[in-house]
Amino acid sequence: MPRFSRWQGIVLCVAALVSTVWLAVTNQLILYIHPRYIVFTVIMTVLGLALVIASFGRSPDQEHEQEQEHEHEHEHEYEDAAPRSYRRAISVVGTVVTLVMATALVVVPPATLTTATADQRVINSTQVGSGTKTVDSAASAPAGAFARFTVLDWSSLLRQTTDASFYRDKAANVVGFITKDRDDPQNVFYVSRFVITCCAVDAQPVGVPVFLPNWQNRFAADHWVRVSGSFQTNPSTKSQQSIALVPTATTKVDQPSEPYLY
Amino acid sequence: MSHTSTDDSDAAAESAGPFRRTLTIMVVALAILVAAFAGLNYLQGPKLSSGSVDANRVVAQGGQQLRLFANQSIRDVAKKHVSVSPAVPFTVSTSGAVIAVQFTDRLRYATKYSVRVSDVANAFQPRVSTFDYTFTTARAEIYYLERADPATGAGQDDSIIRTGLSGSERSVVYSAPRIQQFVVFAQAIAFTTLADDGTSSLSLVGLSSKLVEQIPMPGPGTIDELKGESDAGLLGFVFTSAGPAVAREFTSVLMRVDLSGDHAVAPVPDLAGKPLTVLTWGFLGGSTSIVAHGVDQTVLLIDASKSAPPVPLGQYTELGRSAPDGKSIVVSDVFGKIALSLADGTKTRIPSLPIAGASTYGGDVVLLGKDVARVQQVAVFDSATGGKFQSYLVYESGTTARILYQTKDDAGSIEGFSISPNGQFVAVNVIPDYAHSVSDGYLVDAQSTSIRTVIIDIVSGAVVRSVEGFNESW
Amino acid sequence: MGLVVGLGGIAAVFVVRALTPVLGPWSLPNRVQDLLTLSISVIIESLPFVILGIVLSILVQVWVPDRWIMRILPRNAFLRRAMISFLGIFLPVCECGNVPLARGLIVKGFTVSESMTFLLAAPIVNPITILTTGQAFGFDSWIFAARLVGGFVIANVIGWLFSKHPDQDSLLTDRFAAECRLPDPHEHDQTRWQKSVELFTRESGVIMPALFIGSLIAGLVQVAVPRSLLLSLGSNPLWSILAMMALAFVISVCSNVDSFFILPFASTFMPGSIAVFLVFGPIIDIKMLALMRTTFRAKVLVQLTVIVGLLSALIGLVVNYFA
CB contacts of B43 in chain C (<8 Å) are none
Burial of B162-173, coded b for 16+ CB within 10 Å and e otherwise, reads: bbbbeeeebeeb
Q: Considering only residues 42 to 81 of chain B, which have any Cβ-Cβ distance to chain C shorter than 8 Å?
A: 42, 44, 71-74
Q: Which of B360-364, B430-434, C35-39 has the highest mean pLDDT?
A: C35-39
> Cα–Cα distance between A191 and A180 in angstroms, integer?
9
- In this prediction, residues B51-64 reach a mean pLDDT of 80
Would the CA dihedral through B318, B322, B323, B327 be positive or negative?
A: positive
Task: Per residue of chain A (262 residues), give pLDDT as tens.
Answer: 456 666 788 888 888 999 999 999 888 888 888 888 888 889 989 999 998 888 887 644 454 444 444 444 443 444 444 556 776 777 788 888 888 888 888 888 888 888 888 877 767 765 544 445 666 666 666 666 777 788 888 887 877 666 666 777 778 889 999 998 888 888 899 999 988 877 787 788 888 899 988 888 888 888 899 998 888 878 877 777 778 888 888 888 888 888 888 7
The residues near C106 (Cβ < 8 Å, ≥ 6 apart) are C112, C115, C172, C176, C180, C295
Residue C165 has pLDDT above 80, yes or no: yes
Number of neighbouring beta carbons within 10 Å of residue B121? 17
Say yes or no: A123 contacts chain C, CB-CB below 8 A: no
> Cα–Cα distance between B38 and C251 in angstroms, integer?
25
- Does B173 or A140 have the greater pLDDT score? B173
CB contacts of B6 in chain C (<8 Å) are 167, 169-170, 174, 177
Domain boundary among A107, A133, A148: A107
Mean pLDDT, chain B, integer? 82
Residue B348: per-residue pLDDT: 85
C26 and A23: CB-CB below 8 Å?
Answer: no
Say yes or no: B97 contacts chain C, CB-CB below 8 A: yes
Strand order in the sheet with B311-315: B278-283, B289-294, B298-303, B311-315
Contact C228, C243 (CB under 8 A): no
Residue B387: per-residue pLDDT: 65
A96 and A151 both lie in a single domain: no
> Cα–Cα distance between C230 and A121 in angstroms, integer?
10
> Cα–Cα distance between B441 and A159 in angstroms, integer?
55
The alpha carbon of residue C177 is apart from the nearest alpha carbon of chain B, in Å, by 8
Mean pLDDT, chain C, integer? 80
Range of the domain at C47: 28-322
Q: How far is CA B445 from CA B193, B200, B223, B385, B437, in A?
A: 11, 11, 10, 32, 15
| pTM of full prediction above 0.90 | no
A37 and A82 both lie in a single domain: yes
> Cα–Cα distance between B255 and B466 in angstroms, integer?
33
The alpha carbon of residue B69 is apart from the nearest alpha carbon of chain C, in Å, by 9
Residue C153: per-residue pLDDT: 92
A220 and A198 both lie in a single domain: yes
A238 and A140 both lie in a single domain: yes
A243 and A148 both lie in a single domain: yes
Domain ranges of chain B: 48-136
| CA-closest candidate to residue B200, choices B187, B190, B188 | B190
CB contacts of C193 in chain A (<8 Å) are 54
A59 and A124 both lie in a single domain: no
* Amino acid in position C313: A
Number of neighbouring beta carbons within 10 Å of residue B205? 18
Q: Which of A223-237, B27-41, B433-447 has the highest mean pLDDT?
A: B27-41
Residue A81: per-residue pLDDT: 45
Q: Considering only residues 276 to 335 of chain B, which have any Cβ-Cβ distance to chain C shorter than 8 Å?
A: none
Contact A208, A174 (CB under 8 A): yes
Contact A233, A166 (CB under 8 A): no
Residue C295: per-residue pLDDT: 85
Q: How far is CA B92 from CA A67, B71, B88, C91, in A?
A: 74, 18, 13, 53
Q: How many domains does chain A have?
A: 2
The alpha carbon of residue B96 is apart from the nearest alpha carbon of chain A, in Å, by 11
The alpha carbon of residue C320 is apart from the nearest alpha carbon of chain B, in Å, by 7
A119 and A103 both lie in a single domain: no
Residue C226 has its nearest CB partner, among A9, A120, A129, at A120
A163 and B63: CB-CB below 8 Å?
Answer: yes
A90 and A153 both lie in a single domain: no
> Cα–Cα distance between B337 and B320 in angstroms, integer?
9
* Strand (E) or helix (H) holding C312: helix C298-322
Range of the domain at A171: 115-252
pLDDT tens-digit profile of C109-127? 788 888 889 888 888 888 7
Residue B114: per-residue pLDDT: 93
- Does C235 or B291 have the greater pLDDT score? B291
Strand order in the sheet with B112-121: B82-85, B112-121, B128-136
Subunits adjacent to chain A (3 or more Cβ pairs under 8 Å): B, C
Reported in sequence order, the residue ranges of B96-166 that DSSP labels E, i.e. its strands, are 98-103, 112-121, 128-136, 141-146, 157-164
pLDDT over 90, % of chain B? 6
SS3 letters across B193-214: EECCCCCEEEEEEECCCCCEEE
Q: Considering only residues 25 to 44 of chain B, which have any Cβ-Cβ distance to chain C shorter than 8 Å?
A: 26-27, 30-31, 33-34, 37-38, 40-42, 44
- The verdict on residue A259 lying in a domain is no
Residue B31 has pLDDT above 90, yes or no: yes
| CA-closest candidate to residue B360, choices B386, B332, B393 | B393
Per DSSP, the residues of C167-216 read -GGGGB-HHHHHHHHSPPTTTTT--HHHHHHHHHHHHHHHHHHHHHHHHH
Assigned CATH topology for domain B48-136: Immunoglobulin-like (2.60.40)
CB contacts of C180 in chain B (<8 Å) are 3
> Cα–Cα distance between A193 and A113 in angstroms, integer?
10
A138 and A97 both lie in a single domain: no
A134 and A52 both lie in a single domain: no
- In this prediction, residues C273-278 reach a mean pLDDT of 89
> Cα–Cα distance between A207 and A153 in angstroms, integer?
10
Say yes or no: A262 contacts chain C, CB-CB below 8 A: no
| CA-closest candidate to residue B302, choices B261, B256, B259 | B256
Supply the Cα-derived Rg of chain A in whole angstroms.
25
Instruction: Tally the C-alpha atoms within 13 A of residue B227's C-alpha that lie toward its C-beta.
Output: 22
Q: Which residue from C minimizes the CA distance to A100?
A: C212
- Does B463 or C63 have the greater pLDDT score? B463
A198 and C33: CB-CB below 8 Å?
Answer: no
Contact A174, A206 (CB under 8 A): no
Residue C24's pLDDT band (boundaries 50, 70, 90)?
A: low
Q: How many domains does chain C have?
A: 1
Say yes or no: A163 contacts chain B, CB-CB below 8 A: yes
3 state DSSP class of B400: strand
> Cα–Cα distance between A206 and B137 in angstroms, integer?
35
Selected residue of C51, C95, C250 to mutate for chain A interface (largest A Cβ count, 10 A): C51
In this structure, chain B runs to a length of 474
A123 and A72 both lie in a single domain: no
pLDDT tens-digit profile of B213-243? 888 888 888 888 898 887 777 889 999 888 8
Residue B296: per-residue pLDDT: 86
How many inter-chain contacts (A to C, CB under 8 Å) are there? 262
- The verdict on residue C10 lying in a domain is no
- The verdict on residue C176 lying in a domain is yes
| CA-closest candidate to residue C41, choices A34, A114, A18 | A34
3 state DSSP class of B314: strand
> Cα–Cα distance between B341 and B370 in angstroms, integer?
9
Contact B428, B393 (CB under 8 A): yes
- The verdict on residue C303 lying in a domain is yes
The residues near B279 (Cβ < 8 Å, ≥ 6 apart) are B252, B293, B294, B295, B297, B319
Residue A233: per-residue pLDDT: 79
CB contacts of C311 in chain B (<8 Å) are 30
Contact B255, B264 (CB under 8 A): no
- The verdict on residue A238 lying in a domain is yes
Strand order in the sheet with B188-194: B179-184, B188-194, B200-206, B212-215
Q: Which of B202-211, B292-301, C258-267 has the highest mean pLDDT?
A: B292-301
Say yes or no: C184 contacts chain A, CB-CB below 8 A: no
Residue C34 has its nearest CB partner, among A19, A98, A116, at A116
Least confident of B90-99, C184-193, C294-303: C184-193
DSSP conformational letter for C60:
I
B6 and C170: CB-CB below 8 Å?
Answer: yes
Residue C159 has pLDDT above 70, yes or no: yes
- The verdict on residue A203 lying in a domain is yes
Q: How far is CA B230 from CA B235, B268, B287, C78, in A?
A: 8, 19, 9, 66
- In this prediction, residues B154-181 reach a mean pLDDT of 84
> Cα–Cα distance between C237 and C204 in angstroms, integer?
42
Q: Which residue from C minimizes the CA distance to A73?
A: C178
pLDDT tens-digit profile of B357-406? 777 777 888 888 767 788 888 888 776 666 677 788 888 887 788 888 88
Residue B11: per-residue pLDDT: 47
Residue C287 has pLDDT above 60, yes or no: yes
CB contacts of C236 in chain B (<8 Å) are 72-73, 122-125
| Phi/psi at B37 (5° precision) | -70, -30
Instruction: Tally the C-alpha atoms within 13 A of residue C322's C-alpha that lie toward its C-beta.
Output: 9
Contact B344, B370 (CB under 8 A): no
Residue A74: per-residue pLDDT: 40
- The verdict on residue C12 lying in a domain is no
B305 and A143: CB-CB below 8 Å?
Answer: no
pLDDT tens-digit profile of B106-147? 888 888 999 999 888 876 667 788 899 999 988 888 888 888
Burial of B275-284, coded b for 16+ CB within 10 Å and e otherwise, reads: bbbbebbbbb
Q: How far is CA B301 from CA A142, B292, B322, B336, C31, in A?
A: 27, 7, 12, 21, 53
CB contacts of A163 in chain B (<8 Å) are 63
C218 and A201: CB-CB below 8 Å?
Answer: yes
DSSP conformational letter for C234:
T
SS3 letters across chain A: CHHHHHHHHHHHHHHHHHHHHHHHHCCCHHHCECHHHHHHHHHHHHHHHHHHHHHHCCCHHHHHHHHHHHHHHHHHCCCCCCCHHHHHHHHHHHHHHHHHHHHHHHHCCCCCCCHHHHHHHCCCCCCCCCCCCCHHHHHCCCHHHHHHCCHHHHHHHHHHCCCHHHHCCCEEEEEEEEEECCCCCCCEEEEEEEECCCEHHHCEEEEEEEECCCHHHCCCCCCEEEEEEEEEECCCCCCCCCEEEEEEEEEECCCCCCCCEC
Residue B30: per-residue pLDDT: 92
Domain boundary among A54, A81, A107: A107
Residue B10: per-residue pLDDT: 47
Q: Considering only residues 55 to 74 of chain C, which have any Cβ-Cβ distance to chain A shorter than 8 Å?
A: 55
Say yes or no: C200 contacts chain A, CB-CB below 8 A: yes
> Cα–Cα distance between A31 and C194 in angstroms, integer?
37
Supply the Cα-derived Rg of chain C in whole angstroms.
21
Strand order in the sheet with B221-229: B221-229, B234-241, B253-258, B265-267
Q: Which residues pair with B365 in a beta bridge?
A: B376
Subunits adjacent to chain B (3 or more Cβ pairs under 8 Å): A, C
CB contacts of C270 in chain B (<8 Å) are 71-72
A124 and A101 both lie in a single domain: no
